[in-house]
Chains A and B, each alone.
Chain A
Amino acid sequence: MLSLLIWLPIVGAALIGFTPGDVPARRARLGAVAIAGFLFLWTLWLLTQFNLSTAGPQLVEYLPWIQTLGLSYSLGIDGLSLPLVALTNLLVLVVVFSSDFAGQDAKPLQRPRLFYSLVLLISSGMAGALLAQNLLLFFLFYELELIPFYLLLVIWGGQRRDYAGMKFLIYTAVSGILILAAFLALNWLTGASSFDYDAIATEGLSQRTQLILLTVMLIGFGIKIPLVPLHTWLPDAYVEASTPTAILLGGVLAKLGTYGLVRFCLGLFPETWSLVSPGLSIIAAVCVLYGAMAAIAQKDIKRMVAYSSIGHMGYVLLGTAALTPLAMVGVVAQMVSHGLILALLFYLVGVVEAKVGTRELDVLNGLLNPIRGLPMTSALLILAGMASAGIPGMSGFIAEFLVFQGSFSTFPIPTLFCVVGTGLTAVYFVILL
Chain B
Amino acid sequence: MNTAATATKIPPSQHPYANIIYRLEAGGAMLPDTPENLMQIIGLYKAYAVPMDFYWRDLLYIAEQVFLDPLPFFKYFIPKEYLERHNHYAGDDADLRIWRGEATAHPELLEFIEKGELKMKLPRIFHHWWHDRINMEFAEECMRSMLWHRGMSTSVNQFDSYLDSDEYKANADRAIRAYFKGNPLMLGLHNAFPELFLEQCRQMSYYSNLGLFWEVMAPVFFEMSDLYDEGKIASVPDAMNFLVNGIFAIAGRPIYHHVYIRGECYEIIPKSKGFTWLYEAALPYVEAVFYRTSPFRGTKSYNAQAGQVPDDQKDFHYGVLYADKFPVGTAGIPPTLLAQDMLHFLPQYLVDYYQQYCRGEDDMLIQLAVSFQRSMYCVTSAVIQALRTALLYPLDDPNPKHLKANRAFFEAQMDRFLRPEARLRDIQNQNYR
Contacts and interface: CB of A to CB of B under 8 A. Distances in A.
Interface string A91-107: 00000000000000000
A204 interface: no
Contacts of A371: 328-330, 359, 362-363, 365-366
B236 to A, nearest CB: 27
A366 B358 CA distance: 17
B353 interface: no
Interface string A199-218: 00000000000000000000
Interface string B301-344: 00000000000000000000000001111100000000000000
Chain B interface, >50% SS class? loop
B271 to A, nearest CB: 45
A265 B328 CA distance: 58
Most B C-beta atoms less than 10 A away, residue of A366, A369, A370, A372: A372
Nearest to B365: A371
B420 to A, nearest CB: 18
A371 B360 CA distance: 11
Nearest to B329: A371
Interface string A368-395: 0111100000000000000000000000
Interface in B174-233: none
Interface string A350-381: 00000000000000001001111000000000
Most B C-beta atoms less than 10 A away, residue of A366, A369, A370, A371: A371
A369 B366 CA distance: 11
Nearest to B333: A369
Contacts of B363: 371-372
A371 B325 CA distance: 11
Interface in A302-344: none
A430 to B, nearest CB: 19
B340 to A, nearest CB: 11
B401 to A, nearest CB: 49
Nearest to B369: A371
A147 B363 CA distance: 45
A17 B363 CA distance: 42
Interface in A236-251: none
Interface residues of A, number: 5
A396 B327 CA distance: 33
A70 to B, nearest CB: 62
A369 B358 CA distance: 15
A372 B327 CA distance: 8
Contacts of B329: 369-371
B81 to A, nearest CB: 39
Contacts of B330: 369-371
A372 B325 CA distance: 10
Contacts of B366: 371-372
A357 to B, nearest CB: 15
A2 to B, nearest CB: 47
B339 to A, nearest CB: 10
Nearest to B325: A372
A222 to B, nearest CB: 47
Contacts of A370: 329-330
A55 B111 CA distance: 73
Nearest to B336: A371
Interface string A55-92: 00000000000000000000000000000000000000
Nearest to B363: A371
A371 B330 CA distance: 8
Contacts of B326: 366, 369, 372
Contacts of B365: 371
Contacts of B362: 371
Contacts of A372: 326-327, 358-359, 363, 366
A114 B362 CA distance: 36
A366 B328 CA distance: 12
Contacts of B358: 372
A370 B365 CA distance: 11
A130 B363 CA distance: 48
A369 B298 CA distance: 12
A366 B365 CA distance: 17
A11 B60 CA distance: 78
Nearest to A368: B330
Interface string A246-283: 00000000000000000000000000000000000000
B319 to A, nearest CB: 21
A39 B316 CA distance: 64
A370 B362 CA distance: 10
Contacts of B359: 371-372
A370 to B, nearest CB: 5
A370 B340 CA distance: 14
A366 B327 CA distance: 9
Contacts of A369: 326-327, 329-330
A366 B330 CA distance: 11
A320 B326 CA distance: 51
Most A C-beta atoms less than 10 A away, residue of B329, B359, B365: B329
Contacts of A366: 326-327
A67 B358 CA distance: 66
B364 to A, nearest CB: 9
A371 B324 CA distance: 14
A421 B328 CA distance: 39
A369 B336 CA distance: 13
B190 to A, nearest CB: 45
Most A C-beta atoms less than 10 A away, residue of B328, B330, B358, B363: B330
A372 B359 CA distance: 8
Interface string B143-167: 0000000000000000000000000
Nearest to A370: B329
A369 B329 CA distance: 8
A371 B433 CA distance: 13
Interface string B394-425: 00000000000000000000000000000000
A82 B365 CA distance: 50
B23 to A, nearest CB: 30
A378 to B, nearest CB: 12
A344 to B, nearest CB: 24
A270 B216 CA distance: 90
A371 B362 CA distance: 7
Interface string B351-382: 00000001100110110000000000000000
A369 B330 CA distance: 6
A191 B52 CA distance: 93
B122 to A, nearest CB: 27
Interface string B59-100: 000000000000000000000000000000000000000000
B297 to A, nearest CB: 16
B134 to A, nearest CB: 21
Contacts of B327: 366, 369, 372
A364 to B, nearest CB: 15
Interface string A164-177: 00000000000000
A51 to B, nearest CB: 51
Given A366-B326, A369-B326, 6 more contacts: A366-B327, A371-B329, A371-B363, A371-B366, A372-B358, A372-B366
A-B pairs, 10 with minimum CB distance: A371-B329, A371-B363, A370-B329, A371-B366, A372-B326, A369-B330, A372-B363, A372-B366, A371-B365, A369-B327
16 contacts: A366-B327, A369-B326, A369-B327, A369-B329, A370-B329, A370-B330, A371-B328, A371-B329, A371-B330, A371-B362, A371-B365, A371-B366, A372-B326, A372-B327, A372-B358, A372-B359
Interface of A: 366, 369-372
